[in-house]
Structure 1
Amino acid sequence: MNNKSSIFKKMLYAIISLAIIAVMVIKLKSNKEITQNKVYQFNKEEAINVQADTLILTNINAEYTYSGTFEPNKETKISSEIQGKINVVLVDVGSVVSKGQSLVQLDNSLLKLQMQAIEVQIEGLEADVNRYTILTKADAIQGIQLEKVELGLKTAKVQKATLIEQINKTTIKAPFNGVVTAKLSEEGAFAAPGVPLLQITDITNLKFTVNVPENELSQFKLNQKYSVSADAYSKILLPGKTTMIGSKANIGNSFPVQFTVNNTSDLKIKSGMFGKVILKTANQEKGIVIPASAIVGTANQQQVYLIKNGKSVLHNIMISKKIQNKAVASSGLNEGDVIVTDGFINLFDGANITVK
């Protein structure tokens, strides 16, 4: 009897387990169906709304711009040539300074005391020289004694000149006209050779550097004048002259071209600002110009979507140059072609198209 009861219990447990598993399977299947219903199913047959342009031959604007960065004509960190305590810093960040203007004053009280001592020594030696000269002429003393006193006087004068130079160096002056762009020390600090105290930047003239692809480098000539503008003041055109054309390509296989630019009278253009150099050519030509945003594909193989018979056709093209936000197609496109210019989300080759 006990065996029959044990077998019955085992069968009951098995049936309950199977029932639980069945309920879980049904529940999971139901959840999957609900989730699938909630997920958006893209219908490839549904027409995609896009914007499009019909291409025409147009005059290619022979004006090119190259972006670059403004740098100061001169910039240096100023330090003391001698050691000493800083008594006063005479300028602050933003101060406009002139060449030779005093910037920092070091403590020179000890040097001035040494100067007083050497001046007293010189005064005594000069009196000795006068006295020994008279005695030597009267043959009262040997000439060698006069020579020793004269050498002592010369040595004292050299010591005085050295002290004057050291005292002068306790006043640190501006090496050129500019603006204080960093204050790196304060009153009471200790100055030493090689320890920067201030940074002076000259932005009266600026350096402007752009990177030019090798096939366009021939458009630039040394000492030729160009118009340069800062992005922050795009309406202000500054005269710039080419001062350097790079002889070695950088990582992007382009070459640096540098210009010297005269800043505005109120120094609007600051170091680190972005800008553009404008290059105009006399050649006028017609071609197919498309928005740069219409180009898809890779850098090695540019492509656009043509619209033919209500469908999108992914088409290979070649771009000869870019002019700001537009591109000139050298092959692959003809006048009258219709290309997609916007609405690329979910767009694929062969998609049904409706034009907005």
Structure 2
Amino acid sequence: MKKIIIPVISVIAVVVVIGWVLANNKKKNKEKTAVVAAGKGAVAVRTAVVKKNEINMNFTANGTFAAAQDLEFSAENSGRVTRITVDEGSRVSKGQILAYIDAEILNVGVRNAEAAYQNAARDLERYQSSFSTGGVTQQQLDQAKLGVENAKAGLQEAKRRLKDANIKSPINGIVNKRLIEQGAYISPGTKLFELVDVSKLKLALTVNESQVANLKIGDQVRIKSNVFNDKNFNGKITFIAPKADNTLNFPIEIELSNNPNNQIKAGMYGTAIFEFPKQAATITIPRTSFVGSVSSNKIYIAQGDVAKERNVIAGRVFGDQVEILEGLKEGETVITSGQINLVDGTPISPVK
């Protein structure tokens, strides 16, 4: 019996102690809340004096050099490769034959299409003769005419396939990869060659919304290469995406103007340096001043020993500083931290 009573008493004692602690904490919290409500307590905040600052709009962005054209093309017809005229690294021009294809099957296709066209033409002659004597209807004659047109189109397509049997380069460039071998049988969709045009390189990168707003096609840009970091390269903006990507950034392309001896290769990393004229001083505040995010346009200012809610109109974002278009003037004090505990009129205690 004693063995049972002792644990029970211990449990009751623990419960009593926990209850006392909770009640005491609740009492203290009520006392603190009452003090703040009565104006005798203050929320600790950090502040900053509003002033005009010079705006530095310069920024850099990293990207990758890419070829002006990078094409991996596939076969359109079937046949066996009888001869390949180029290898990896070969320079090619547009229209140059890269490989010859056995055209026996395509020749058969042309002959069949020719025979079908001749048969349709003879049928049309017979229908026209019979139509004049009332042997066939107008509908039958129209169908015969349609048959001739279809057969003619089939013949033209077969001839085009025969003409395009050999594989030709669609661009000027260099053979980066050869994906077929002599003697191999190819069919429509078989990958043939990878061609790249490195006569011009472009630096592909992305910028955010505040940066893209200051860019336009044709702007000159200074470029640095991670490999040749002691040299300066130049380029101009040739493309600015009209729509942001999934990361809410805007892809842009900068065409490289000078690349002596083709030092820069496609696939290398580069840095674009965007430089702008000096801007007039304007009011900016720390980004942390906003309640939630910059888009809320809501801040608190310190008026004496209390916080006052203020709505402003935010402009451009420069790193950790935000331009203020309306709602603040020089000399006012903005609260930069501690806003989570504030409402309009809350007593504050600025932390130095």
* TM value normalised by structure 1: 0.49
Q: Which has the larger radius of gyration?
A: 1
The answer to which structure has the higher strand fraction is 1
